[in-house]
Structure 1
């Protein structure tokens, strides 16, 4: 059993489908043919019995049969019994065969009728030649004489012949049906799998050429159409992902080139000083080392940003925890004050607890404050507020008094490596706000930049949470149980 099944599974899908269709039709045709033959085999004997019971032996045939018994000769009656054998059964078991009839062996059922113990009998018997017949025996009253026992017989060979002819006809019909089913199954398989063939060729083309611009025409709303649409969506997503990856690599290479070039120049100056023995003045050497350290810091920051952005969208950033946003903002503010010692940073932080990955959230807040510090004028101020908002959304705003962002540039500020023309001379990679937007979205929130009244920029971050932590640090109540889970 395992062998045929295994061989069937190794066949091409088209062959399996055609074979299944042909097998199903063959089974159905065979079942109908067998049922028809069985029904006919049951019906024909019943019709034969009805025909015998409704038949009446001609008087001339009965008289001819009696004359044969009395005189041993067959009178010329001018009639023939046709396909019914007629004979008279006497009480002693003798039989008187009508002219033109075949003699049929007398059975006990016939004697019972002849002796008066039965009125009629319907049974099987055989002729002297051994041919099977169906016999109907009954007592018949002719005129005023005594009742006569007459047996009417018909050969069963006519039923067998009809059944054989029917069996041959049904076999031919079944054979034609199976062949037709095989051809129909092959046609159905070819027609039904033609879209699959197209899909297969498209997949093979993509695998061979890596051409993700291939699209399959979609017709209808069936399963094949759904599969085609899914394939088109998949190739479109892969093409978009590859384009983003190529763009990321190109942009990263461009951003890495500047600090690497500067770092290489400084290192070459130091190496040349060591090789030639010409010492660099202490002040210049200190400035050179400071530049090297700054370039190394910028490279480390850029590499960290690239690692953060290298994760696919939707990737779990780590275990989410219930964290105090106001406390994380406090830590980020300490780092911001070190980077802008001449700036005045005022804060109004109300308690607010959210579900997020702590390290990623702190990095995002540091990036927001770095932008505010970078674009604030010397001696300027930065206002930071955190309040619980409506609907369980806390709002964190960071407002600077710098030059602000033109309205036409606002839609691009969260794009990777995008930097406004006025900021290209300043340090930075253009990845900070992109990381901020991604981190805030993973925490279920949203971020927006807008122009502030009186100049400057306002960064507004809204993250679902609650003003009090849940009991035992569990997510229950307080707005921390599902509204922003990732």
Structure 2
């Protein structure tokens, strides 16, 4: 397994704590490294400045006679020691004589060039015979007699290295404490921050185990976790509502199916008993029984079709949406309504109107509205249909709907007390509202606008009075 795969396999809180620890470690290492480099630079510069500020040429110049002396007088030795530096005189041939110091400094080629007057002063590092690192400043000087010589002034590099070593240990200890503390803090933050996620996980597992959709998670605050909790609560509420509607739909469907099935079974049992006993049913009664069976089967088929229509998801229509002529659909539905109510008078005023929707579903919705108008119209009554600017109005002159019943007319299986004795399932207007809503429109049932008897069904569907240009994909909604 690769390191990346192993990292992804860790729990989320462990990954967060590890990332926090690594980020803090990198930051601490960067700060410690920069601090160490800056201190080293400052100490090195300070050491170089202290060397350059040390000038013993006036004191040691008297030690030169005809050559390099091998001894230094006590006052001169004391002066050099007071300076805290190792001082060495260098001649052009590499000869050296001591002014101060317990060990000699190696004479480099650069020192010889300076002693010969070829080069100016220079700073360089050397290692003594006993392995001590020294920082050396070699100066060019000249005797009154005109003889050049060099003065090497050196201080131990330990003046810089020892404080740096101490600082490195201090930074290492402090960094280690900081990284360990950051890891502990990261783990604490991860646990605290992910506690709502743990609660959400427990709630989801509880729902999956018990199918209890009443679980709610506290959603205080406005952060991402609170938004996630609110989304979960909204989801479970929607699922609970959907489950409740589904249960209600099943219960209502069972209730509506029970009546025609009971009647159908009774009629079939009568016919079967007649065949079994040999007692013939009068022909007129037999025709009525068969007509009743046929009507009940038709009612069952219609009810099952309505249930199938309502069971479809809103986002999954039978056919792709397209631009259809609503006035043509209304005209076709009106022709079917004339056949169902031959004794009624129908008036129509249909202006051209094109909408984006599903033609078959829209036709069924208009047919359902017209069926209601035919069903509740008195014999010889009138049904008026108009389509103007995308508003389809169907007006009947029946008994009307009480105002207290209007808010319920689009509910599934709801039927007004006056309509319960009439054929129907109570799903027609639910299908109308669903279909019109899918086409981005609205459906409304209201009392007649002129104050007369009857009801107006108003369907508003967005569209245009002319079809879109050929090949256009601009929706009519």
Give the TM-score normalised by structure 2.
0.89
Aligned twin of 2:383? 383
Change (3 A) 1:67 1:4: farther
1:32 pairs with 2:28: no
Q: Provide, for residues 413-458 of structure 1, a one-character-per-residue CA deviation record: whole Å limited to 9, x for no partner.
A: 1111111111111111111111112222223332222223331222
**What is the CA-CA distance between 1:22 and the residue it aligns to?**
0.6
1:14 pairs with 2:4: no
Aligned twin of 1:399? 395
* Helix, strand or coil at the partner of 2:443: strand
**What is the CA-CA distance between 1:134 and the residue it aligns to?**
2.2
> Structure 1 residues 379-388 or 252-261, which shifts more?
379-388
Looking at structure 1, the residues matched to 469 and 175 of structure 2 have their Cα atoms a distance apart, in angstroms, of 78
**What is the CA-CA distance between 1:154 and the residue it aligns to?**
1.4
**What is the CA-CA distance between 1:296 and the residue it aligns to?**
0.1
Change (3 A) 1:54 1:278: same
Aligned twin of 2:475? 482
Decide whether the 8 Å contact of 1:384 with 1:396 is kept in 2. Answer: no
Change (3 A) 1:145 1:210: same
Looking at structure 1, the residues matched to 216 and 245 of structure 2 have their Cα atoms a distance apart, in angstroms, of 20
Decide whether the 8 Å contact of 2:72 with 2:99 is kept in 1. Answer: no
Aligned twin of 1:413? 409
**What is the CA-CA distance between 1:92 and the residue it aligns to?**
4.2
Looking at structure 1, the residues matched to 91 and 469 of structure 2 have their Cα atoms a distance apart, in angstroms, of 113
Change (3 A) 1:62 1:84: farther
> Structure 1 residues 78-87 or 395-404, which shifts more?
78-87
Q: 2:461 aligns with which of 457, 460, 463?
A: 463
Decide whether the 8 Å contact of 1:323 with 1:355 is kept in 2. Answer: yes
**What is the CA-CA distance between 1:69 and the residue it aligns to?**
6.4
Q: Provide, for residues 17-56 of structure 1, a one-character-per-residue CA deviation record: whole Å limited to 9, x for no partner.
A: 1101110111111122222223333443332222111113
**What is the CA-CA distance between 1:225 and the residue it aligns to?**
1.8
Give the alignment's Cα RMSD to 1 decimal: 2.9
Change (3 A) 1:155 1:269: same
Q: 2:430 aligns with which of 413, 424, 434?
A: 434
Change (3 A) 1:386 1:135: same
Change (3 A) 1:81 1:305: same
**What is the CA-CA distance between 1:116 and the residue it aligns to?**
3.4
**What is the CA-CA distance between 1:384 and the residue it aligns to?**
2.4
Looking at structure 2, the residues matched to 7 and 432 of structure 1 have their Cα atoms a distance apart, in angstroms, of 59
**What is the CA-CA distance between 1:140 and the residue it aligns to?**
5.0
Decide whether the 8 Å contact of 1:388 with 1:467 is kept in 2. Answer: no
1:323 pairs with 2:321: no
1:446 pairs with 2:445: no
**What is the CA-CA distance between 1:67 and the residue it aligns to?**
13
Aligned twin of 1:268? 269
Gaps of 5+ in 1: none
Aligned twin of 1:120? 121
**What is the CA-CA distance between 1:475 and the residue it aligns to?**
5.3
Q: What does residue range 190-201 of structure 1 map to in structure 2 within 5 Å?
A: 190-201=191-202
Aligned twin of 1:96? 97
Aligned twin of 2:81? 81
Decide whether the 8 Å contact of 1:324 with 1:351 is kept in 2. Answer: yes
Decide whether the 8 Å contact of 1:66 with 1:88 is kept in 2. Answer: no
Decide whether the 8 Å contact of 1:68 with 1:97 is kept in 2. Answer: no
Aligned twin of 1:286? 287
> Structure 1 residues 133-142 or 368-377, which shifts more?
133-142
Decide whether the 8 Å contact of 1:213 with 1:239 is kept in 2. Answer: yes
Looking at structure 2, the residues matched to 207 and 265 of structure 1 have their Cα atoms a distance apart, in angstroms, of 44
**What is the CA-CA distance between 1:199 and the residue it aligns to?**
1.7
Decide whether the 8 Å contact of 1:65 with 1:88 is kept in 2. Answer: no
Looking at structure 2, the residues matched to 370 and 293 of structure 1 have their Cα atoms a distance apart, in angstroms, of 20
> Structure 1 residues 101-110 or 47-56, which shifts more?
101-110
**What is the CA-CA distance between 1:58 and the residue it aligns to?**
8.3
Decide whether the 8 Å contact of 1:416 with 1:430 is kept in 2. Answer: yes
Change (3 A) 1:375 1:153: same
Looking at structure 1, the residues matched to 66 and 103 of structure 2 have their Cα atoms a distance apart, in angstroms, of 16
Decide whether the 8 Å contact of 1:217 with 1:228 is kept in 2. Answer: yes
Q: Provide, for residues 259-303 of structure 1, a one-character-per-residue CA deviation record: whole Å limited to 9, x for no partner.
A: 000011111111112222222111111111111001000000000
Change (3 A) 1:128 1:442: closer
Q: Provide, for residues 381-434 of structure 1, a one-character-per-residue CA deviation record: whole Å limited to 9, x for no partner.
A: 222232423xxx2x3322222211111111111111111111111111111111
Aligned twin of 1:137? 138
Aligned twin of 1:313? 314
Decide whether the 8 Å contact of 1:105 with 1:127 is kept in 2. Answer: yes
Aligned twin of 1:422? 418
> Structure 1 residues 203-212 or 405-414, which shifts more?
203-212
Q: Provide, for residues 125-179 of structure 1, a one-character-per-residue CA deviation record: whole Å limited to 9, x for no partner.
A: 3334242322223355789997764322212233332332222222222212211
Looking at structure 2, the residues matched to 236 and 174 of structure 1 have their Cα atoms a distance apart, in angstroms, of 50
Give the TM-score normalised by structure 1.
0.88
Looking at structure 2, the residues matched to 441 and 223 of structure 1 have their Cα atoms a distance apart, in angstroms, of 33
Looking at structure 1, the residues matched to 148 and 323 of structure 2 have their Cα atoms a distance apart, in angstroms, of 114
Change (3 A) 1:447 1:475: farther
Change (3 A) 1:342 1:221: same
Change (3 A) 1:125 1:405: closer
